[in-house]
């Protein structure tokens, strides 16, 4: 059996599984200051997230589910939650991170983590998000909103990962899509895969400028690209 956490590249980069899968980005989300992680994660893994990323853990379900990365979009200024979030979950986030703006999205879409990709300067927004909601999202996160597709796909949050240092994107992203993001963010964006060929890069990574946790099936060449892109 694979070791669940081991040193990978130079910099603060670790390999990790959550709940026995390498798709840790489905179960958690992180920014510079916080990581939202589900209850039931072993204490040693909660500490691994906290220590690797240098963040405070917020431990809660979203909509009664462990699929936090699919449901929520987080940066250092705020968090976007689906309308199916429970009030006690909102209160747990508010209690654990009183400085965060919280917006409960009013549209019909619920998998907001799959439709939004944010750092502390921009949020990439799926064309499925209505303009009035896009403004509220941008205001909550305190960033500029950029509506775009990635590789012609609408679920931009599931196939893009942004930190304040760099970014990763679906390997089929067009030159024009990458140029737009690079122009508006000032970041270098790299095409990448994770977990031995998975195109959904965010599903296998939790990262900020201080470190990265990467799915345990990720192979050496993928680790090199991810570490280079995120400057770790």
Closest residue by Cα to residue 97 from 29, 41, 51:
29
Phi, psi dihedrals of residue 169, rounded to the nearest 5°:
-150, 160
Buried b (16+ CB within 10 A) or exposed e, 99-115: ebeebebebebbbbbbb
Per-residue pLDDT of the chain (232 residues; tens, 9 = 90+): 233 333 333 459 999 999 999 999 999 999 999 999 999 999 999 999 999 999 999 999 999 999 999 999 999 999 999 999 999 999 999 999 999 999 999 999 999 999 999 999 999 999 999 999 999 999 999 999 999 999 999 999 999 999 999 999 999 999 999 999 999 999 999 999 999 999 999 999 999 999 999 999 999 999 999 999 999 9
Domain ranges of the chain: 12-229
Closest residue by Cα to residue 109 from 72, 161, 67:
72
Question: Residue 163 corresponds to which tokens in the numbers above?
Answer: 């930190």
Closest residue by Cα to residue 82 from 107, 117, 119, 57:
107
Report pLDDT for 3: 32
Report pLDDT for 8: 35
Q: Which CATH class is domain 12-229?
A: alpha beta
Order of strands across the sheet with 56-59?
29-30, 34-37, 56-59
Report pLDDT for 11: 56
Report pLDDT for 2: 31
Cα 1 to Cα 4, 5, 22, 73, 75: the distances in Å are 9, 12, 13, 32, 34
């Amino acid at each position: 059996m694979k070791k669940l956490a081991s040193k990978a590249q130079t910099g603060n980069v670790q390999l990790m599984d959550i709940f026995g899968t390498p798709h840790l980005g489905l179960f958690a989300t992180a920014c510079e200051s916080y990581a939202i992680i589900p209850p039931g994660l072993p204490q040693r893994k909660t500490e691994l997230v906290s220590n690797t990323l240098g963040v405070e853990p917020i431990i809660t379900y979203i909509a009664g589910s462990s699929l936090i990365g699919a449901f929520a979009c987080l940066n250092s200024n705020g968090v976007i939650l689906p309308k199916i979030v429970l009030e006690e979950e909102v209160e747990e986030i508010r209690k654990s991170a009183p400085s965060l703006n919280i917006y409960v999205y009013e549209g019909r879409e619920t998998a907001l983590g799959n439709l939004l990709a944010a750092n502390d300067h921009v949020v990439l927004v799926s064309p499925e998000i209505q303009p009035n909601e896009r403004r509220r999202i941008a205001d909550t996160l305190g960033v500029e909103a950029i509506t775009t597709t990635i590789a012609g796909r609408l679920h931009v949050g599931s196939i893009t990962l942004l930190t304040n240092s760099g970014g990763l994107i679906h390997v089929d992203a067009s030159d024009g899509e990458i140029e737009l993001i690079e122009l508006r963010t000032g970041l270098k964006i790299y095409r990448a895969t994770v977990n031995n060929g998975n195109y959904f890069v965010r599903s296998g990574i939790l990262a900020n400028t201080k470190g990265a946790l990467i799915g345990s099936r990720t192979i050496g060449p993928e680790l090199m690209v991810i570490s280079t892109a995120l400057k770790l």
